[in-house]
Chains A and B, each alone.
Chain A
Amino acid sequence: MSHELPYIAAIDEAIRLEMERDETVIYFGQNMATTENAPFRQQFGNDRVRVTPISETAEIGMAVGAALAGYRPVVELYMAEFMLVAMDQVVNEGPRFRAMSGGQVKVPLVLKAGWGFTAGWAGQHTGTLTNMFMGIPGLKVVSPSTAADAKGLMASAIRDDNPVVYFHNYLLTLDHGEVPDGEYLVPLGVADVRREGSDVTIVANAHMLNQSLKAAETLAGEGIQAEVIDPRTYAPLDVDTILESVGKTGRLVLVDSAPRHSAASNVIAGEVVERGFDLLKAPIVQVTALDATVPYSEPLEAYVIPDADRVAAAVRGVLGTAPVGA
């Protein structure tokens, strides 16, 4: 059985179910008492759901300490960029303590961070920071693209015994989707084939996934069948599913809204070239944002961030049916 929910509500449903299931799940962040998070305070109390000041370092450091003491904290960070204020805790402390202690401790916590609000939110609220975090050993990174995955990945992230950065894409906030009732878990580290096809493999996530699916529809009208894969988890990265698809199609287009030189697609391209060079019939193409700060002005924002047209043009280029677009 399932029900329809907006993406953002599916995340809340997962947190609520996990808090009902497990007393050790605690939730904190700024503005928790006065926003859409207020129902959590009402249901679970002000002790378990805490309002923090604008102190990202203390919030995340406290989460690490509470995790060491046996709790499973979820930190509401609102914006992924706010995590950058607390990089010592996100990078140096949380993910490293297990290894540095020789395995004596585990650090189960979730950093819930909205990202990619390319709707005029300009240079400090629109970033795609996946690549910044996926290379940190010990840290897991997930990024759901659908309401169902938003629920299933959050539940799995909370139950995971490691620190997890949970990216939710702000452009998908109100996108509705069918969400399974009750307990629903999507395993971390498993990509999903969103559309099957035989001519080219497209890898994309979140808003870029929707743009890629749109491009795939257009291309289907031209007789090109694209297979579209959503990584869902960036660390650990499911390279096998992508390689399997490339084995079938022989062509790979990687779509990523991060700047070209800090895109997760760089890592995927490297893995595929090294492990699957013989499978490739054409060079890999990366459709990324420009190496630039995302501008405020609407036409300039669109100029920097990829869209369905650019994805379709890249696919035509890879297939040799037309020159590679912009």
Chain B
Amino acid sequence: MTADDARRLLRTMWRIRHFEERVGRLKRTDEVFGLIHLSVGQEGVAAATCLQLRDDDAVYSGHRAHGHALAKGALLPRVMAELMGRETGVCRGMGGSMHLVDVEHGFLGATGVVGGNIPMALGSALAARRLGGDTVAVVFFGDGAVQAGHFNETVNLAALWGLPLIMVCENNGFAEFTPRSAHTVVERVSDVVSPYGIVRETVDGNDVLAVWERFGAFLARARAGEGPFLLECLTVRLRGHYEGDPAAYREAIADEEWQKMDPILRLQRHALAQGWVDEDEPAAIEAEAAEEVEAAVAFGRESAFPPPELVAELVYAGSDA
């Protein structure tokens, strides 16, 4: 990792953090319309993986997708406008929080059904192999998706065909409202795939340096034609499953504890120690991110709602038959 990489990572993580927190506040006043799942605390995984990818690499995510979309390059004002249901949204207000798609930046999509995205990424990996280049497919999912059939079917086929697929599991210990221990006897997701001989690793997902390095190594091998890979990132979901979830099923992390774990603060401390950034640079990066988010809210508020005609227009694609 270079000083420049660290700056990009910090910028991306602060943008996600401020975006998510602002969306949480907008949700409370109903300016953001629908069901919202925030990734506060998990920014490190999105940033350390997506920033190493290119626009022609396909990325899939699930219901907690804002961070992945932003890290992959989706324009922040357009993601905010999407959440506000506006026509200027990245999906013209048709998809919302759980269905972000930004083809231009290779964010092929988020799905709201846990695990549904995993076999789709297999299709992108198969396409990448057929096209013969060095592109890869990456899919993000939580530990809850691992118990679904989608995951096991995909792992089997990806291993059988040796496809350039990198599966990134964000293991935050909770499947919706239920701890992992209530759903399975297998503690580590990387152990679930061990019979398939898949190259796999479990890392501290809040250690941005570790995620950056392990994912980078997998990515280089996938670009060279190897695969599949599984990277399990142990992380923390600071908020409830959805915005409004009182999260009475678990204890909140104490502030001082979180200061030690926070992926952004950890990388900031490391970057300062390494002399990669000046002392006042992190604060400036954060302030810039906060301003960008405020500008996005203003952009969303000024944008029109999509016209009703759009609904019929988008049911079927026109045929070249």
Residues on A close to B: CB < 8 A?
A: 26, 47, 50, 52-53, 55, 57-71, 73, 88-89, 92-93, 96-108, 137-138, 140, 156, 159-162, 185, 187-188, 236
Whether a CB of chain A sits under 8 angstroms from the CB of B184 is no
Are A187 and B321 in touch, CB under 8 angstroms? yes
Residues of B within 8 A of A67 (CB): 123
Residues of B within 8 A of A68 (CB): 58, 108-109, 120, 123-124
A89 to B117, CA, bound (A): 9
Most chain B CB inside 10 Å of its own CB: which residue of A93, A100, A103? A100
Residues on B close to A: CB < 8 A?
A: 58, 60, 89-95, 99, 101-103, 108-109, 111-113, 115-116, 118-128, 130-131, 137, 149-150, 153-154, 156-157, 160-161, 310-311, 313-321
Are B101 and A92 in touch, CB under 8 angstroms? no
Tally of A-B Cβ pairs under 8 angstroms:
165
Instruction: Supply 21 A–B pairs (Cβ within 8 Å), ascending by A.
Output: A53-B157, A53-B160, A57-B149, A57-B150, A61-B120, A62-B120, A65-B108, A65-B137, A68-B124, A69-B131, A93-B116, A99-B314, A101-B101, A102-B93, A102-B310, A103-B313, A105-B103, A107-B317, A138-B316, A159-B319, A161-B319
Residue of A71, A89, A107 near B127 (CB, 8 A) is A71
Known: A58-B154, A61-B123. A160 touches B103 (CB 8 A): no
Residues of B within 8 A of A101 (CB): 91, 94-95, 99, 101, 103, 109
Residue of B112, B153, B313, B314 near A55 (CB, 8 A) is B153
Residues of B within 8 A of A47 (CB): 130
Interface contacts beyond A88-B116, A159-B321: sample of 5 additional A-B pairs, CB < 8 Å, sorted by A: A66-B124, A92-B112, A105-B109, A140-B316, A162-B316
Most chain A CB inside 10 Å of its own CB: which residue of B119, B130, B317? B119
Known: A69-B127, A161-B320. A100 touches B157 (CB 8 A): no
A89 to B157, CA, bound (A): 16
Whole-angstrom distance from the CB of B273 to the nearest CB of chain A?
42
A116 to B4, CA, bound (A): 63
Are B321 and A160 in touch, CB under 8 angstroms? yes
A162 to B319, CA, bound (A): 8
Residues of A within 8 A of B112 (CB): 92
A188 to B318, CA, bound (A): 12
A99 to B101, CA, bound (A): 11
Most chain A CB inside 10 Å of its own CB: which residue of B311, B316, B317? B316
A130 to B125, CA, bound (A): 32
A156 to B160, CA, bound (A): 32
Are B153 and A58 in touch, CB under 8 angstroms? yes
Residues of A within 8 A of B90 (CB): 102
Are A62 and B92 in touch, CB under 8 angstroms? no
Whole-angstrom distance from the CB of B239 to the nearest CB of chain A?
24
Are B126 and A62 in touch, CB under 8 angstroms? yes
Residues of A within 8 A of B314 (CB): 98-99, 102-103
Residues of A within 8 A of B58 (CB): 65, 68-69
Are A65 and B122 in touch, CB under 8 angstroms? yes
Whole-angstrom distance from the CB of A156 to the nearest CB of chain B?
6
Residues of A within 8 A of B60 (CB): 65
Most chain B CB inside 10 Å of its own CB: which residue of A58, A156, A162, A185? A58
Are A64 and B120 in touch, CB under 8 angstroms? yes
A58 to B109, CA, bound (A): 17
A99 to B95, CA, bound (A): 8
Residues of A within 8 A of B137 (CB): 65
Are B123 and A69 in touch, CB under 8 angstroms? yes
Query: Closest 8 interchain pairs by CB?
Result: A65-B123, A61-B119, A102-B92, A69-B127, A58-B153, A101-B101, A65-B120, A102-B91
A99 to B94, CA, bound (A): 7
Are B99 and A61 in touch, CB under 8 angstroms? no
Are B157 and A52 in touch, CB under 8 angstroms? yes
A73 to B120, CA, bound (A): 13
A66 to B130, CA, bound (A): 10
Whole-angstrom distance from the CB of A294 to the nearest CB of chain B?
27
**Which partner residue on chain A sits nearest B93 by CB separation?**
A102
A260 to B119, CA, bound (A): 35
Are A65 and B127 in touch, CB under 8 angstroms? yes
Residues of B within 8 A of A66 (CB): 123-124, 126-127
Residues of B within 8 A of A71 (CB): 123, 127, 130
Residues of A within 8 A of B128 (CB): 69
Residues of A within 8 A of B89 (CB): 102
Whole-angstrom distance from the CB of B97 to the nearest CB of chain A?
11
Whole-angstrom distance from the CB of B137 to the nearest CB of chain A?
8
Are A62 and B91 in touch, CB under 8 angstroms? no
Residues of B within 8 A of A160 (CB): 319, 321
